[in-house]
Amino acid sequence: MAIKHYLQFSDLTLAEYEYLIERASIIKKKFKNFETYHPLLDRTLVMVFEKNSTRTRLSFEAGMHQLGGTAVYLNTRDSQLGRGEPIEDAAQVMSRMSDIIMIRTFGQEIIERFAANSRVPVINGLTDEHHPCQVFADVFTYIEHRGSIKGKTVTWIGDANNMLYSWLQAAEVFGFHVNVSTPKGYDIDYNWVSKDHSHFTLFDDPSDACEGADLVTTDVWTSMGWEEENEIRKKAFAGWNVDAAKMARAKPDALFMHCLPAHRGEEVEAEVIDGPQSVVWDEAENRLHVQKALLEYFVKGRVA
């Protein structure tokens, strides 16, 4: 039987997400109640990082430990990956010594080649094109605060990056709409979007994109890997920030999200990210809980 991987948001069905949301809520409660829960006793997660991380490393490592297992951290700098060992060979070896693997890397084709050579499930911890674990945590956070996300409007302001592509896939799975506003020259790459464009609308003006939104979200203007463009991007993205005036165009109870790390004074103003509509710390915490549900599901299958 083919091994199931989580390489992009669309790899799981709505029914699977509904099950995982239930599991994440149960697992979160156990954690808050100091209840020991070790379904992955003696199991090993390998975490491969080719880019920096705080939240992803911490949430996967702490999460695996809390589920009774162990997490091994590898990065490009001090593993053989940095010395040119083929990704296919690395996948063969790592997957013979572990039960599940998480990778943060550059192009999506790298994680796909890795997964094709892995004997165990592979989870995407961020690629240039996708960040499914983060968007799953964000959808979970929205549901915790406001109930069902079906039929709601999510506004995306800023770069057409990995977070946006995962949001667009989530919109198809969960049945919500995304208003997208990106500066000229930084628009959507349709290679990373499904053929059905009915779940999003493009706006030239980022303020107009916020009109009536239930959730406004953004991300850094320069993602990891594009650092050389930082100064050019700062000019091109001026105006594509989330400030109080834009939030005022959204619904009065609209939430603000940012996957973090954030740059106050660039893509978001302090008045918003540190204001009452912001749920950024809940998003970060929920990485832990949804990923524990994913780890349980990908190692053991359905347990309830």
Please give the positions annotated as active site. Answer: 104, 131, 134, 219, 259, 287
Closest distance of CB 128 from ligand NVA, Å: 7
When CB distances are held under 5 to 8 angstroms depending on the partner's kind, the choice from ligand CP, ligand NVA, none that residue 54 binds is ligand CP
- C-alpha distances out from residue 137 to 43, 257, 289, Å: 23, 11, 8
Q: Do 10 and 108 form a contact (C-beta atoms < 8 A)?
A: no
State which residue, 57 or 199, has the beta carbon closest to ligand CP.
Answer: 57
Instruction: Name the segment binding ligand CP (CB under 6 A); options: 53-61, 81-89, 146-154, 185-193.
Output: 53-61
- C-alpha distances out from residue 196 to 162, 173, 287, 304, Å: 18, 12, 28, 33
47 binds ligand CP (CB under 6 A): no
When CB distances are held under 5 to 8 angstroms depending on the partner's kind, the choice from ligand CP, ligand NVA, none that residue 118 binds is none
- C-alpha distances out from residue 84 to 74, 88, 103, 114, Å: 14, 11, 17, 14
State which residue, 136 or 199, has the beta carbon closest to ligand CP.
Answer: 136
State which residue, 62 or 224, has the beta carbon closest to ligand NVA.
Answer: 224
When CB distances are held under 5 to 8 angstroms depending on the partner's kind, the choice from ligand NVA, ligand CP, none that residue 162 binds is ligand NVA
State which residue, 56 or 199, has the beta carbon closest to ligand CP.
Answer: 56
When CB distances are held under 5 to 8 angstroms depending on the partner's kind, the choice from ligand CP, ligand NVA, none that residue 220 binds is ligand NVA
Closest distance of CB 29 from ligand CP, Å: 24
Closest distance of CB 150 from ligand CP, Å: 25
Q: How many CA atoms lie within 13 A of 84 on its CB side?
A: 0
260 binds ligand CP (CB under 6 A): yes
State which residue, 199 or 291, has the beta carbon closest to ligand CP.
Answer: 291
Residues in the chain: 304
Q: Do 143 and 21 form a contact (C-beta atoms < 8 A)?
A: yes
Burial of 157 (0-12, 13-18, 19+ CB in 10 A): buried
**Residue least distant from ligand CP (Cβ):** 56
CA nearest neighbour of 85 among 124, 51, 48:
48
Q: Which amino acid, 109?
A: E
What would the two tokens of residue 230 be?
């930082």
148 binds ligand CP (CB under 6 A): no
Distance CA 110, CA 88 (A): 9
Q: Do 142 and 277 form a contact (C-beta atoms < 8 A)?
A: no
Is beta strand 122-124 parallel, antiparallel or unpaired with respect to 153-157?
unpaired
When CB distances are held under 5 to 8 angstroms depending on the partner's kind, the choice from ligand CP, ligand NVA, none that residue 286 binds is none
Q: How many CA atoms lie within 13 A of 164 on its CB side?
A: 27
- C-alpha distances out from residue 34 to 29, 31, 48, 198, Å: 9, 5, 29, 44
State which residue, 199 or 289, has the beta carbon closest to ligand CP.
Answer: 289
Closest distance of CB 52 from ligand CP, Å: 6
Residue of 8, 53, 98, 218 that binds ligand CP (CB under 6 A)? 53
**Residue least distant from ligand NVA (Cβ):** 223
Closest distance of CB 258 from ligand CP, Å: 9
Positions touching ligand CP (CB under 6 A) are 53-56, 126, 134, 259-260
